[in-house]
Amino acid sequence: MAIGPVQLIVLGFNHPNFHGEIIDELERLRDSDTIKVIDALAVHKDADGEIEVAHLSNLTLDEAVELGTKIGALIGLGIEGEEGMEEGAELGAEAAADGMQVFNEEEWDVLEDIPNDSAAALLLIEHHWAVPLRDAVARAGGFRLADGFISPLDLVGIGLLDAADAKELHEMETAASATK
């Protein structure tokens, strides 16, 4: 199966107030073939740090069955219990036996980043739009060195936003974290 670049996005919420807007936007991006949501989890961490997990997704039932719980496998969260963990370990062992490095050195311990008494949405997204670019870079002998989202405040320094717009965007992005 050919797959585009995949990204794990972890979004924090102090007091989630969902009205369907996030799912609607993910559906719009899916319908335009911009992205595909491979997996999505909602994680609630209570005041004592105990975790509850719910599977969210805009996948069809067939897609969900085919892909399984990939975020849980990536971050070490055994959502599918012993059977799911064993299946993931077997697949990893097979790949390693073939000489493939299964995971890079990067830690995916995102559960530690979720504050107690809050929630997070974990989205594993395939970027369909980036496939032609990735392939062109590879044909030219290039490779990914790093990636990341840039804060609106950093965009002021390079002239892409004025200070007022950057401040407004930054406040919008971080408003919920400031209420903790």
Please name the residue ranges forming H helices in 4-80: 21-31, 61-67, 70-75
Q: Are 116 and 44 in contact (CB under 8 A)?
A: no
Per-residue pLDDT of 91-146, as tens digits, reads 555 545 555 444 554 556 788 889 999 999 899 999 999 999 999 999 999 999 98
Residue 119's DSSP bridge partners are 13, 44
Token reading at 12 = 């924090």
Q: Give residues with Cβ within 8 angstroms of 26, minimum separation 6.
A: 35, 37, 40, 58, 123
Per-position DSSP letters for 84-142, written without gaps between them: HHHHHHHHHHHHHHTT---S-S----GGGGSPTTEEEEEEEEEEGGGHHHHHHHHHTT-
pTM over 0.85: no
Distances (CA, A) of 2 to 5, 135, 157: 10, 11, 38
Q: State the Cα–Cα distance between residues 104 and 101, nearest whole angstrom.
A: 7
| Mean per-residue pLDDT, 56-76 | 66
Q: State the Cα–Cα distance between residues 92 and 135, nearest whole angstrom.
A: 26
In one-letter notation, the amino acid at residue 139 is R
Q: State the Cα–Cα distance between residues 142 and 127, nearest whole angstrom.
A: 18
Per-residue pLDDT of 68-97, as tens digits, reads 578 877 887 765 444 444 555 555 555 455
pLDDT value of residue 136: 95
pLDDT value of residue 84: 46
